[in-house]
Structure 1
Amino acid sequence: MASSTSSARVNSKAAPAAIAVATTTTTAPPPVSSSSSAPVSGPASLAGAAPPAPSATSGFPAVTLSDLIGQQLKHLNPDELLHKDELQLLVLLTPVQRQKLSRDLEDVELGASTSTAAPLSRPENAEEDEDLIGAVGGLGISSPPTTKEPLLDFRPQVLKWFQHLRHQSGHFKSEEESRRLREAGNDSYRKERHPLKASDLFTEAIFLAPARNTLAAALAHANRSLALFDCGLYAESYDDCLCALDLGYPEEYLPLIKLRQAACALKLRNFALCEEHLHELLHIELNQVFETRTHELWHQCEVLKVERFEMAVQTGDDLDTNDSKAFEIAWLDNSSSLHTTRALAKNALIFESEAVAMVPSGNCRVCDHCGITQFIPFPCIYCSNRQVVYCSRKCRFKHAAIHAVECFGHQIELFESFGEVFGMPRLLQLAFRMLITGLPEMLSHCRKKPTLSKLWAAINGSLQERQDIAYSAVLRLERLREERPSDTVIALALVCHILAIYLSKCTMFFEQLEKSLPTASRMSSAEWELLCAALLMRHIGQLRHRSLTACRSFVLPADPHVFSPLNEFQLWAAPMRLQEGRLHLLAGEVAVVSYAVYPDTLSLCRHSCSSTICAKFSGRKVTALALLDLPAGSGIYNCFAGGNFQQMPREERSKQLQERGIKCHCNACQMAQSEDQFHKFHRYRCDNPKCMEIFTPKALPHAPNLRWWLSEEYTQPEFNGAELIQCPHCGEFQKLEWFWAFTTSLIDCELIEERCKLYAAIERAENQLMDLHECKVALARLLLEQCLMVHRAHVSLLVAHFSHYSTFHFIVFILVIRITYH
């Protein structure tokens, strides 16, 4: 196994290359089995699950990703891995593949290091096909015999790791806990008459329901459908009814669910669907109550059909539109960029586009298909971590082809396991999704009998230039190129190989690819693995360069999609309607909710630390507006660092950009006083009465971008009064007594004496923090959040807290600054 130093080396070098990401820590559920069609392609197929996997034994080997990668790195010399493209690198890293390939790569120059390798042979061992896990899991793994050569051991070790992940799935799901929450929801609905609170409880009952017994989830879906119907969410209520039926809702309660479906269809003005369900009810033996309700719905349907009328619709001739594109793709130095086609005024729309691939960041529940944050989530019942949710069954159906490939990976928490070694596991998942989304589409355009070498040459040539294939735009994206393969590059290549093995042994993806090719052609699994691993490596290089987009959105302080003791459901009087006096509870922040790729628009923008566009995200869509007047033919620039010249110092920006292979020479970086805009938000007045000079501190070792109030190295109690910031004029360290007094009093802000101390600390801070200091924003936010948490249910008390006019004025002023600045 790999030594600890090898594993640490991979982690320390891979993380910086992965830009920045917020990873989520999840507790895995017990192993779940399902059929190959299980992941949301149709709930009817979900019920027919394969037998459960065998339980883990005490002697099962503890295989980790660090072990797999560290073991390979010990036996690899980067100087011997010289290559001209990704396919060559994968061939050099996986010599076992060269013994299994069916066709000679005569068109690929392998170099001197592979000239003496064994010829590529056609057949694969028939026994190795018996270790398939299944498209979505269900069968065990029988690992092939190992050899002494470490590189040849990689495949069976990967399969053992998959099996280990499957057996170590956690147990956060509980049928008993799901039943308890469902009963609590029933009490809330019947006794408290609070359908929104009941809906939250039923939602958590769905998330906790085990997949081995889908009845618990079916009952929770059925109960939630009733609560949603009362809230006026008829489409979501109808979807819940379908989910309940698909997951095995008891047949004796079938009239109840069918009656609700008919009522939802009637509310949605889908009269044909309503009549269909009423016909189904008429063929079922009903009691008097259900029969009466059925005839009532039938009468209402007939009345509404008679009263229906066509509404006037505005035609295209009545609209003032301009269909000409505001941008075009220009080529310079063998690379593409965006330029304006006409003069654009400030705030004018430049482009709107939809992501070709998107993955949620894990910060909140986001629809895996459309990317919106939804009020009513529909999770995949078979994914152990339950992170895959949809806003509707329609989105779930559209995403079924992708999720069918990913579902088993979520069952064993494969993508989350990459966080053990890499700083950004979501980057790997996004590259994976780019591949499984685009490659099948591209192969359908291959008419000749392909070989691996010819297919790879076409992907780098004619297929890349096609304008009618969406995947071609992805392949044309620039990627990060390194002069020699580093440990990070090798580790990423090994992970690409692991994902290719996953596609081969755990899914039916390669079989689907074979169907896209002409009948006479066939490629072996080893060839498909090499091709997919090489394409994954290319996509990772693109994401490490400029193509990765962090989609930011407004997120509430406590995610309303997760039930919590803070009772966020009390915000709402009705769907999309806040209770009076609750607007202030929406004091949230802008957070990264997903990562996406926009190959035709945002990824083609040139970099500049003073961006000329403002990107707004809504689900998968991005809208770019001009930040200033742009003449015709001017370049369209976007900042690819973590912050622009106002939010981040030049040295920090340069470091981040270098990791992405970008050398910036924009005007903001070339100015003699390039840091003035950044320093404007970090100026202090020295608290030494004999000095009182205004200054900006130098870089702080544990506080990126001078935001020391965000660093635990400075804000822990033992650092109270520590020497943090030094005045360059008099050499005195700033006492920052107001900050320590503020943080101490903030804990007990419900006490009036502590609130007085808070107000005094804020006034002292205003004397030392100059102009639009970012720390002012932090203080205002901390005060608001703490007061809202303490008096969330007592708004009148909260208003009393802000009776002090100067403090209230200060907080409002700071919030206005925050909104303007960000």
Structure 2
Amino acid sequence: MASSTSSARGNNKAATTNTTAATAPVSTASSAAVSGSGATSAAATASAPPAVTLSELIGQQLKHLNADELLHKDELQLLLLITPVQRQKLSRNLEDGDLEASTSAAPLSRPENGEEDDDLIGAVGGLGISSPTTTKEPVLDFRPHVLKWFQHLRHQTGHFKSEEESRRLREAGNDSYRKERHPLKASDLFTEAIFLAPARNTLAAALAHANRSLVLFDCGLYAESYDDCLCALDLGYPEEYLPLIKLRQAACALKLRNFALCEEHLHELLHIELNQVFEARTHELWHQCEVLKVERFEMAVQTGDDLDINDSKAFEIAWLDNSSSLHTTRAVAKNALIFESEAVAMVPSGNCRVCDYCGITQFIPFPCIYCSNRLVVYCSRQCRFKHAAIHAVECFGHQIELFESFGEVFGMPRLLQLAFRMLITGLPELLGHCRKKPTLSKLWSAINGGLQERQDIAYSAVLRLERLKEERPTDTVIALALAAHILSIYLSKCTTFFDQLEKSLPTASRMSSAEWELLCAALLMRHIGQLRHRSLTACRSFVLPADPHVFSPLNEFQLWAAPMRLQEGHLHLLAGEVAVVSYSVYPDTLNLCRHSCSSTICAKFSGRTVTALALLDLPAGSGIYNCFAGGNFQQLPREERTKQLLESGIRCHCNACQLTHSDDQFHKFHRYRCDNPNCMEIFTPNALPHAPSLRWWLSEEYTQPEFNGADLIMCPHCGEYQKLEWFWAFTTSLIDCELIEERCKLYAAIERAENQLMDLHECKVALARLLLEQCLMVHRAHVSLLVAHLFRFLIYRFIEFIQIIHII
């Protein structure tokens, strides 16, 4: 499966940074302005400001905003203070409590020049973006600059796809399937052809979907093959080949035992003029369908009455210090299930290809044909259908790579996208419960009051989440508010979202676009504050790489024996590492847990679902605690945990932090014996500049051959640097361990490591993983004797690693 574009990789890299990076101040350094390539006329170019980058756009606003003057009591007031001068009347009306929309005045969110650029019309759910030619206050009213920036993004991403390249890959897939008889390679080539097919001419994508459906059918992936057939038909598959697709649909339905669907497609075929071959195949399928229907029998199904089900919840929401938290309702045994829930909002992290709706990884992606770099993929058409309402609002943003562009300024653009998704998912549902048409002031009061307390509205649970509250606005807060304003302008100018909101309310009067912009920007700002506090959940998992064949560039597709089946001895190539696959919000469960560095639950993620298991026996009424730092007291020292928590507005006073020697548990996994024969003292090294949490074996700054361990770890007792020659001998001998000489060096290196790495040292886990991977690689070469020796060595010498893996 081919990877995304290089620009997408860069954006994904920004998305994987630590959560606290999103709070970093915005750089105000100016770079060269990039003028939009789609200027409509010389007059417009002369009057309108040139297109600038996002960092310049926000940096210019920060220069003219005084943080000391932006004192506010809530998000709506802050947005009123930083929005354009034209909204001063709206601000005064809000203070007077009268925000009735004036139908005689022009909508404040619309530009003065109503001409639209057809090139900026969104392919899915999009409206034209207008290009204003004049503005009264170019310093404060940065809407024209935002619209120009949207134009620039549109022109910048308009030429990503290539019909010629898509055709070339499709032909290569045909050759791979017919000549090489390699279905997985053909499937990957067809997938890449789909990703590169242009949106304006969907025939290329239709042909690639149709070709892939044949390969998937031969591989036994009938549901995916049927979905590909539907995609091909939706995208304009040629009519002359219609019988071929309909036959394949009928065959897939038959294999899936959906007899009604199979007969439906066969009836369609009977109304088409078929040649002799197709007619014979149609009658053959009809006969098979009738035979299978006769042979079908009913299976005994166990009913719910026969099952021993305990429906009582193991937790409840309790209130403490004007905030909610989770407590157990009954005694919970160790390793027992406490809760399981689905995220109300989720966005993929970009580290691997996951379904944008359900969050699972897959081999057969179904991308949105309109999104620019095909970052939005689904595991099936069913997931794509369920996510259609949300994606219709986001699609044009993906076409211009809007969300990825925030990575230019903010360390974690996925945080902004998740806040955006929280808004567009929940606000329409909330407005549906309003009994009468509210004004902006009344609606905002209701959101902070009665609507927030409703238990029957899912979005109300999101509004109740705690948020990061800063005593005074900073450049970071103002920059995030400006980002929220940009997203609200996007909703106003590029989508029909505000029209959907109007339909959710009684038809008494209209709220202006300016009022909807203010409301949405204020709610976005609130969600950003919630995510910056502790509501952002990084879903970690062992994941399949986005491109499995990158491990073997010379023999790309020899990794697989068949789809979903690896070649023997290749498992280590897909073992992967624990990576953040998505970011989610769980407002009723995980996000309500109290923080403790010694958490009482173990959270496991599967797609959108989180499952929490008890780490110890919990009596009834116990608080349910989770660690909201990057690691618990066994994984991070107290100083590093405290720094991360303070950036999220959390002051921890848990038992683990109150201990006199609070880092003893952390040091237990990082204790060394000095290799100086005149010292031999046991110590824990000081912080290493290029190795977070003392894991130097993961840092290229310490593991490159030219460094050779020099000046790495110093013994505090004698001042000698540790040589660590056993590590370099181990990594060198591991490469050629099929040779007896290298195996002897390998065993000797492990013996020396055992003498220097004390107790349950975390580096032993790294050595064990490397050794296990090499065992599998040697097993592929059928060196069974070495495999037996290495596994026996693992069992006897590294038996304690199992304990570490469960702890870390």
- The TM-score normalised by the length of structure 2 is 0.89
Query: Is contact 2:550–2:556 with CA below 8 Å preserved after alignment?
Result: no
Counterpart residue number, 2:495: 507
1:402 maps to 390
1:686 shift after superposition: 0.3
Q: Specify the SS of the correspondent of 1:330.
A: strand
- The Cα of 1:142 is off from its aligned counterpart by 4.2
Alignment of 1:707-718 (within 5 A): 707-718=695-706
1:94 is the counterpart of 2:83: yes
Match of residue 8 from structure 2: none
Which segment drifts farther, 285-294 or 734-743? 734-743
Q: Is the 8 A contact 2:674 2:682 kept in 1?
A: yes
Q: Is 1:216–2:204 an aligned residue pair?
A: yes
SS of residue matched to 1:594: strand
CA contact (8 A) 1:362 1:593 kept: yes
Distance change in 2, residues 1:508/1:149 (3 Å): same
8 A Cα contact 2:765 2:801, kept in partner: yes
Deviation track 1:573-625 (CA, whole Å, cap 9, x = no partner) reads: 45555555544444322211000000000000000111111111111111111
Answer yes or no: is 1:533 the counterpart of 2:521: yes
Residue type matched to 1:18 in 2?
A
Task: Tell me which amino acid in the other structure corresponds to 2:660.
Answer: A
After superposition, the CA RMSD in angstroms is 3.2
Quote the offset at 1:780 in angstroms.
3.8
Q: CA deviation at 1:197?
A: 2.9
Structure 1 counterpart of 2:298, which letter? E
> Partners in 2 of 1:446 and 1:495 — Cα distance?
28
In 1, Cα distance between equivalents of 2:607 and 2:64: 44
**SS of alignment partner, residue 165 of structure 1:** helix
2:782 to 796, 816, 819: 796
Matched residue, 1:311: 299
- Determine helix, strand or coil for the equivalent of 1:152: coil
Match of 1:123 in 2: 106
Assess if the C-alpha contact under 8 Å between 2:667 and 2:684 holds in 1: yes
The letter for the 1-side match of 2:464 is R
Write out aligned runs for 1:251-330 (5 A): 251-330=239-318
Give the equivalent residue in structure 2 for 1:27.
none
Question: What's 1:28 paired with?
Answer: none
Partners of 2:787 and 2:70 in 1: CA distance:
66
Match of 2:63 in 1: 74
Matched, 1:821 2:807: yes
Q: 2:22 aligns with which of 18, 21, 25?
A: 18
Equivalences for residues 29-68 of structure 1 within 5 A:
61-68=50-57
Q: In structure 1, how many angstroms separate the alpha carbons of the residues matched to 2:453 and 2:621?
A: 24
> For the Cα contact (< 8 Å) 1:229–1:264, is it kept in 2?
yes
Residues 181-207 of structure 1: CA deviation (Å, up to 9, x unaligned): 322322332233332332222222212
Q: 1:563 to 1:584 in 2, by over 3 A?
A: closer
Asked if the contact 2:194–2:204 (Cα under 8 Å) also holds between the matched residues in 1, the reply is yes
Distance 2:672 2:297 in 1: 67
Query: 2: distance between equivalents of 1:654 and 1:121?
Result: 55
CA 812–124 in structure 1, closer or farther in 2 if over 3 Å, else same: same
Contact kept, 8 Å, 1:780 with 1:814, in 2: the verdict is no
Residue ranges of structure 1 left out of the alignment (5+ in a row):
1-10, 21-51, 111-118
Distance in 2 separating the partners of 1:751 and 1:180: 45
Match of 1:422 in 2: 410
Query: Is the CA contact (8 Å cut-off) linking 1:686 and 1:727 kept in structure 2?
Result: yes
Find out whether 1:494 has 2:494 as its counterpart: no
- Paired residue type of 1:631: P
Residues 541 and 578 in structure 2, CA contact (< 8 A), matched pair in contact too: yes
Counterparts of 1:293-692 in structure 2, within 5 Å, are 293-556=281-544, 559-560=547-548, 565=553, 570=558, 572-574=560-562, 576-692=564-680
Out of 371-380 and 332-341, give the one that drifted further.
371-380
Between the aligned partners of 2:678 and 2:618, the Cα distance in structure 1 is 50
Secondary structure, counterpart of 1:336 in structure 2: strand
Closer, same or farther: CA 445–547 of 1 in aligned 2, 3 Å: same
Q: Using the aligned pairs only, state the percent identity.
A: 86
**Which range moves more in the overlay, 88-97 or 456-465?**
88-97
Q: Note closer, same or farther for the CA distance 1:450–1:798 as it changes in structure 2 (3 Å cut).
A: farther
CA–CA separation in structure 1 for the residues paired with 2:755 and 2:158: 52
Aligned residue for 1:238, secondary structure, equals helix
Distance 1:468 1:585, change over 3 A: same
Residues 782-810 of structure 1 deviation map (CA, whole Å, 9 limit, x = unaligned): 4555787xx59944259757755776557
8 Å CA contact 1:745–1:755 kept in 2: the answer is yes
Q: Would the alpha carbon gap of residues 472 and 562 (structure 1) be closer, same or farther in structure 2, given more than 3 Å must change?
A: farther
Could you give the per-residue CA deviations for residues 431-450 of structure 1, whole angstroms, max 9, x where no partner exists? Answer: 00000000011111112121
**Secondary structure of the structure 2 residue equivalent to 1:405:** helix
Aligned counterparts of 2:282 and 2:791: Cα–Cα separation in 1:
61
Distance 1:811 1:53 in 2: 67
Bigger Cα displacement from structure 2, 795-804 vs 197-206: 795-804
Structure 2 counterpart of 1:85: 74
Q: 1:234 Cα shift?
A: 1.0
Distance 2:169 2:182 in 1: 15
Unaligned runs of 5+ in 2: 1-14, 25-36
Which secondary structure state, in structure 1, belongs to the residue aligned with residue 411 of structure 2?
coil
For 1:772, the equivalent position in structure 2 comes to: 760
Quote the residue 1:104 is aligned against.
Answer: 93
Q: 1:644 to 1:563 in 2, by over 3 A?
A: closer
Which AA in structure 1 matches 2:291?
V
